[in-house]
Structure 1
Amino acid sequence: MTENTEVVVIGGGYAGVMAANRLTQRDDVTVTLINPRPTFVERIRLHQVVGGSHDAVVDYREILGEGVRLVVDTVTRIDAAERSVMLATGGTVGYDYLIYAVGSGSADPCVPGAAEFAYPIAGLEEAQRLRPIVDAAPATAAVTVVGAGPTGIETAAELAELGRAVTLVCGGVLGPYLHPRGRRSVAKRLAELGVNVLDGPDAKVTAVTRDAVRLGDGRTLPSEVTIWTAGFGVPDLAARSGLSTDALGRLLTDETLTSVDDARIVAAGDSAAPSNLPLRMSCQAAGPLGAHAADTVLSRIAGERPATLTIGFAGQCISLGRRLGIFQFADKEDTAKGYYLGGRSGAKLKEFICKGTVKQLADEGRKPGSYRLHKLFKEGKRQELLRAERDEASATAERAA
């Protein structure tokens, strides 16, 4: 009689759903997905929740494979020695293998007043909480968006297109990922929407009050609604469970995404730090990482050696309101190139990617193992860097001996 293998996946985001669905390739694997809410969140649409153009949720029945058991609960601790996880509602769930895909959220702001008076939107509940506040604010109310990454830019554009008076405080450069050509295009569109963009070294928020934002150069900006999009953090579940993490709290793994502490624990998505060289937090990385994590577990079940990580990027897409957008092309190492797709074509491509990402999950649920994007790329600079680090460490050890 074939022995059954129990796999628990913590986190039902892009990486977790991909991993859970892919694991159902084997009939002798039982998959349990634990997530704190009963619906899947399209995090790349949370700015639309704030603007009222989308609810950013998908029923798990539309994307989860039939063989995946969904448990709506929160994991409070991982007991690696006992191979079990503790739930907030009480009780435990045992596992043979665990995939850690808890994702990311808002970073704790260290700026005085930000935690009390600014509204983060990195999570669904945060975005839902902000929407009625924006709706209730007078049409002429000053709205300040802090942080000029994709979420900050998209939120500023979404609200400005609705006629809101928006100031975007960059805390440095507008769209740090973007090539200068793409950045100029984004700046032009924001100007057309009436967004007041404050960038440069002095455009850093030093304090937030109930009705104002103070900058590093001493300026005080009136702000009836302050939205905080600067930085991301990860849940501290791994650290609280005694597992090794990087400085941000991501689970440290090797290049197969296996925990450096425990061969039965594999990580995926924003909460993974393979070789302490984590990838950019994005759904673009989450899907391939989720697939690779599942493949690592399946290889171990089959008694095979797991493959090492190879991953590539295509670029970054940003909505600039509902009608226009930009896709900033990049090389597979995730460095922006000098060309981009803008305007209506950029917006259509962004929407295609949003829908396509969910479709990929659903397709994997219907036909486990069909996803192949994580296998398209060959070794690149990441592997060269890791080899160089190993060679340097070996040389240092030899000199010490």
Structure 2
Amino acid sequence: MTENPSTAATGTETSTRRTRVVVVGGGYAGTMAANRLTQRDDVDVALINPRPDFVERIRLHQLVGGTHDAVHDFSDVLSPRVGLVIGEAARIDAARRAVELESGGTVEYDYLVYAVGSAGAEPTVPGAAEFAYPLSTLEGALRARSAVEAAGHAAGGPPAVTVAGAGPTGIETAAELAEQGCRVTLLCGGVLGPYLHPRARRALAARLEELGVRVLDGPGSRAAEVGAAVVRLEDGREVRGGVTLWTAGFGVPDLAARSRLSTDPAGRLLTDETLTSVDDPRIVAAGDSTSPSGIPYRMSCQAAIPLGSLAADAVLARIEGRSPRAVSPGFVGQCLSVGRRDGLVQASTSDDHAKKGFVRGRTAAAIKEAVCWSTYRGLVFEGRRPGLVNWAFLKDGRRRDLLETRVALAREGSAL
């Protein structure tokens, strides 16, 4: 079976002059790209996604804590001109310009936006796959929520929870559950909040201590083995708890590699600075799964949405016969919720290095909530008024210097 994006989007026959664009992946980057592509009336857009819901991934810790369901029906988020194809992409056949689905169908395209996102890396720690609950996907977060509730019923009250990984997801999940009375141990496997400036890290540690979170950091605090109700650390210590939640490490789907497209060592699609695949000018990438010039942006919603809008702009430029422009979206920092009543906002340089400045407390919590709300509402607005949301107003002023340095080093190496 071959599915036509034009038919999926409009329910009508299409002329040969229409352009079919398929977006693979309905996360922040893919949804932004799909909505933005509807600026042209002669472009038919299809979005391939495994589920009919848009997942607010930056709220999954709230789903685990029971304070937000973190999902919206795609009919509320997508432009009515975007056709939603529910399915899992199995392979991209660039020669035929078609996406093969796990179901056996295919979706043909003239241009493709590769936005498959990221997920938790497969844990290599013995026992983690059997006894720990990863939180990087909706399905994983739902299972984790059920496990925490079941442990609470068995304990007759808030259960003991061990959270492995002290990046944003681990920190936010630990705080969310501790605020509800759970006895939480946070395993850092190194430092707490690696992105944070030391001053902000100390403030965060103090707030987690107020919430009753037991923070284990430094050498030896990495999980070495996970059991049914125990985690053994590299230094020999044991942490006993009813539920182990896993937030350590992220990876990307291997769709690009399976499709014989060039990738970086982590499996991200390798592109030039216009987000165009180095193998095929009709494939453009966005979000966590793209690696421009082999120098990827930090996996984050903050990067995904600008990259999604810029990927759409690159496709529209090619349709109009123009050359896409090089992109360099910048950063402003990192927002963390520390429970429902507290937060921390770490300021950064545009090239994503933490500054000394940060905000914490209720003000930071309000900023984080505003960011979550405006991120979702921005996608909805782009679906109703495509092209009017400009998420890429910040520029990374140092990226060009980094690229020039890399080129110079490569030339020196080839000359030796």
Q: C-alpha separation between the residues in 1 aligned to 2:113 and 2:294?
A: 18
The amino acid across from 1:370 in the alignment is L
The equivalent residue for 1:7 is 21
The equivalent residue for 1:289 is 307
The amino acid across from 1:243 in the alignment is L
Residue aligned with 1:24, SS = helix
Counterparts in 2 of 1:140 and 1:27: CA distance versus 1, 3 Å: closer
The equivalent residue for 2:383 is 365
The equivalent residue for 1:377 is 394
Query: How far did residue 198 of structure 1 move?
Result: 0.3
Q: C-alpha separation between the residues in 2 aligned to 1:235 and 1:379?
A: 27
Deviations for 1:158-213, whole angstroms, at most 9, x for unmatched residues? 11011000000000000000011111111011000000000001111111111110
Query: How far did residue 114 of structure 1 move?
Result: 0.7
1:248 pairs with 2:262: no
Contact persistence 1:34–1:71 (CA under 8 A)? yes
Choose which of 51, 56, 72 in structure 1 pairs with 2:65.
51
1:116 pairs with 2:134: no
Residue aligned with 1:373, SS = coil
Contact persistence 2:189–2:219 (CA under 8 A)? yes
Choose which of 37, 46, 54 in structure 1 pairs with 2:51.
37
The amino acid across from 1:274 in the alignment is P
Report 1:237-316 matches (<5 A): 237-316=255-334
1:178 pairs with 2:165: no
1:136 pairs with 2:185: no
Choose which of 53, 75, 98 in structure 2 pairs with 1:61.
75
TM-score (norm 2): 0.93
Deviations for 1:87-130, whole angstroms, at most 9, x for unmatched residues? 12221110000000001111001111111111000000100111
Contact persistence 2:54–2:74 (CA under 8 A)? yes
The amino acid across from 1:58 in the alignment is H
Q: C-alpha separation between the residues in 2 aligned to 1:114 and 1:64?
A: 36
Contact persistence 1:2–1:28 (CA under 8 A)? no
The equivalent residue for 2:112 is 98
Aligned pairs, number: 398
Identity across the alignment (%): 62
Choose which of 84, 93, 110 in structure 2 pairs with 1:79.
93
Choose which of 235, 244, 268 in structure 1 pairs with 2:253.
235
The amino acid across from 2:297 in the alignment is L
The amino acid across from 1:43 in the alignment is R
Q: C-alpha separation between the residues in 1 aligned to 2:263 and 2:241?
A: 37
Q: C-alpha separation between the residues in 1 aligned to 2:189 and 2:16?
A: 57
Q: C-alpha separation between the residues in 2 aligned to 1:303 and 1:265?
A: 15
Deviations for 1:60-98, whole angstroms, at most 9, x for unmatched residues? 122211211111111111101100001122211100000
Q: C-alpha separation between the residues in 1 aligned to 2:391 and 2:159?
A: 45
TM-score (norm 1): 0.97
Residue aligned with 1:76, SS = strand
Counterparts in 2 of 1:39 and 1:298: CA distance versus 1, 3 Å: same
Q: C-alpha separation between the residues in 1 aligned to 2:409 and 2:17?
A: 44
The equivalent residue for 2:232 is 214
The equivalent residue for 2:371 is 353
Contact persistence 2:174–2:213 (CA under 8 A)? yes
Query: How far did residue 223 of structure 1 move?
Result: 2.2
Deviations for 1:345-374, whole angstroms, at most 9, x for unmatched residues? 111111100010011111111111112231
Q: Which runs of 5+ in 1 are unaligned?
A: none
| Pairwise CA RMSD | 1.3
Deviations for 1:115-150, whole angstroms, at most 9, x for unmatched residues? 111100000010011112101212363210000000
Residue aligned with 1:135, SS = helix
Query: How far did residue 396 of structure 1 move?
Result: 4.8
Q: C-alpha separation between the residues in 1 aligned to 2:413 and 2:99?
A: 40
